Structure formats: structure tokens, C-alpha cells
Amino acid sequence: MKPKHHVEVSSTVLPPTTALPPSGVDPIAIEGFDHIEIYTDSAKQSSYFLSHAFGFNPVAYRGPETGWHDSASIILKQGDVLIMLTCPLKPDSPIARQIAKHGFAARDVAFRVTNAQWCFQEAVRRGATAAAPPTEWKDANGTIIHASIKTYGDTIHSFVERSKYNGPFWPGFAPYSKVFPGEPVVPEVGLSAIDHVVGNVELGGMNEWVAFYEKVLGFSQLKHFSDKEISTEYSALMSKVMNGGGGKIKLPINEPAEGKRKSQIEEFLEYNGGPGVQHIALETKDIIATIAALRERGVRFLFVPKTYYEEAPTRIGTIDEDLSLIQKLGILVDRDEDGYLLQIFTKNLEDRPTLFLEIIQRHGSRGFGVGNFKALFEAIERDQAERGNL
């Protein structure tokens, strides 16, 4: 018998298209981030945590109740941020194997694109490894074309073409409130968009992945931070920022550098079982209100020492916000040639010292808070020392 909320869905793998864009037009036209998919042991429990702590609301669902028996997925939304939480339903699921290896981790940094087939074919032609072939997904709300390629570790980039779809998230998903009626709506905290997504790769891997994003996706390098800029007494890292999608996609890539002790990147690689997404930065237009709300809900952030704020006024100059409030909430400030930014980092989202979130508000600055890196890393090292991993 079909479940009450069954959604009739079909998927068809598409043959290679010969209708290519005119010469001179880049087939890889990325419009922005589409969503981030996180693999978790329990979509239900992770959804409760992310909604009640971070102000996301579930908008769509696919699982046994909609006639889908391979996995369960909940889509969380706040502003333009879409997070897909996917869990396995049976022990022999390939998703279960991924979770055994990486824990609660980002699987897919998905891009919204103009033409998923063009993106996939061109990316593979330029050397990308396919993860899923172009496939047309269809239900009563329309069509989505999806394909994906592999990137660092077990992470993938999906290409999502959703211009002919008008449903809750994806063909096969039902509105969450239809399947689970009566759940209270959680007040949002002002998170509005995905700002950037950072990957940690192994020593020597950074330049390889920089070349991949340049060659395969046509990204350009925005910034380069050397280990001299990003080092503390104990550890160092190097970072390059890849930029694509007309500036809408920013993907910094970190690799560990030689230090006296184990660097935070090495700790990540050990506990994540290799490269993966280190943090997802979410934008707010009012970081004071956002962080006050998150702290009220018990979200824990990296501790910033009092000394950081003593030297802050000389380093950052005048800002619109009240510095005493910034200090009270533990927010970091950095200034560059274009303006300033405010940012703060959560503690790890699970027990493994792996994935965490950043909340960021930009006032002109297009940077990543390099002036804060040292203060931030010293804070991470205090946590590392508490775990006995420094």
C-alpha cells in the first residue's frame, strides 16, 4: 500500500546533449550556491538541533512517508540558505559507510546552474571525475536536472538546474508541514545566505585543488594566505581562496603547514578521515541581533580573549557597531582595503573536531578576516589542548 503522503516521482538518466552553447559562451554558468547536503545518523535529530539552535525551519521532506525507502532527507531553510540533512535508513546503505568514516559531515556543496548538462559534460571534459550523470527528476511540480562531480575527499559538487521546478525543494519531496503537521515554527535568527565554504585538504593538496577549480570550473584565485600570515606559536596553515559564479561562490582551501605541534588542519584530517568541508560561513545583515539570539538559544562559540578587544580599536578604526556589545558577544572584527567585516565561529557541531559554522556580516570587506586568524587559531588551540590533541 502506498503511504498517505506518497509523491509520484520519476528519474531518467539523460543521454549526452549535442545542443551545446554557442562558442565563446562558458558552458559552466554557476548562478550561486543551491544547497549544502550534510550526511547525518538522524535527519530528525539533526533537524531539531539546527532549527532550535540556529533558527532554520524544515520546509521539505522525503522518506518512507513519501514512498522513498533508501534514505530520509529534511530540507532546512532560513533566508536563502538551504541545508539538506540526509540519513541512511538501513545499515548497508552507502550513506551509512560515509557516516562511519566522516561523522556528521558535508557531503555536497551544490551549485545552482543555468544548464546542468553543459556544466557536467564540460567539467568532465576538463578532467573532473563524475559522481552522478545528468539525470532528469520529475514530479507534479515540474522538473529538475541534476548531475555531480567529485571534489576533495568524499565531497561532491552537484549542478542543480531548477528553472522548470516549482515545488518544495526537489521532485519526490513533500512539504514538511504536510507530512508532519503541527510542529511549531521556530523564529529565525537572521541568517540570510551562504557566504563561503571552506575545505581542508592534506599537506601538498592545496595547489592541486586550486588547479582543479581553475581548470575544471573556471574559478580564479582571490587571495593567498601564507603560513607566515596564518601561524601561531604552535601551528600554521596555508590558504587559497577560489572564486567563481561571478563572485557568488567563494571556496577557501586550507592545507596544514609545518608547526611545532599538531595543527588544527591535521587534527581535522585525522578525525574526518581525510579532506572535507571544515566550515560553512553564513551571512547575516545584523550580526549583533543574530549572535545575541544564538547565544540565548545556547549555541556555543569559540572563546575570544579579552586582550583581543584591547588592541581592536587601533587595528580596525571606527565601526558602526558598539564595540562593547561586540566584545560582550565575542564577535571578531577585521578591516581591509575595502571595508570591514564582523565574524564569529561556533564550536564543532558534533563530538568530532571537524565541521563548524561561521556567522559573518560584511561592511564592504570581501576578505575572510585574516587579521583574526591568529586570535582564532589560538582559540582553536585552547580547545585542541583540552582534547589532548595539541
Interface residues toward Fe ion, by CB under 5 A: 281, 358
The DSSP code sequence of 159-211 is: EEE-TTB-SSSSTT-EEHHHHSTTPPPPPP--EEEEEEEEEE--TT-HHHHHH
Question: Which lies closer to Fe ion via its Cβ, residue 136 or residue 283?
Answer: 283
User: Residue 263 is inside which H or E element, if any?
Assistant: none
CA distance 165 to 204: 42
Cell numbers for 385, please give them. Answer: 589542548
Closest separation between CB of residue 149 and Fe ion, Å?
A: 23
- CA–CA–CA angle 276, 234, 154 (5° rounding): 5
CB of 275 to Fe ion, least distance (A): 17
Query: Shortest gap between Cβ of 343 and Fe ion (angstroms)?
Result: 7
CB of 279 to Fe ion, least distance (A): 6
Residue 266 CB, nearest approach to Fe ion (Å): 19
**CA 108 – CA 111 distance, rounded (Å):** 9
Q: Residue 298: is it exposed, middle or buried by C-beta count within 10 angstroms (0-12/13-18/19+)?
A: exposed
Q: How far is CA 201 from the centre of its chain?
A: 15
Q: How many helices (H) and strands (E) does the chain have?
A: 10, 18
Considering the complex, what minimum distance in angstroms separates the CB of residue 44 from Fe ion? 29
Q: Which is nearer to Fe ion, 176 or 268 (CB)?
A: 268
Element (H, E) at 376: helix 370-386
Mind giving me the DSSP string for 44-62? HHHHHHHHHHH--EEEEEE
Provide the minimum distance between the beta carbon of 360 and Fe ion in the complex, in angstroms, as a whole number. Answer: 7
Nearer of residues 118 and 345 to Fe ion, judged by Cβ: 345
Using CA atoms, how far apart are residues 102 and 272, in angstroms rounded to an integer?
Answer: 5
Select 161 or 255, whichever has its Cβ closest to Fe ion: 255
Helical (H) or strand (E) element with 95:
helix 94-102
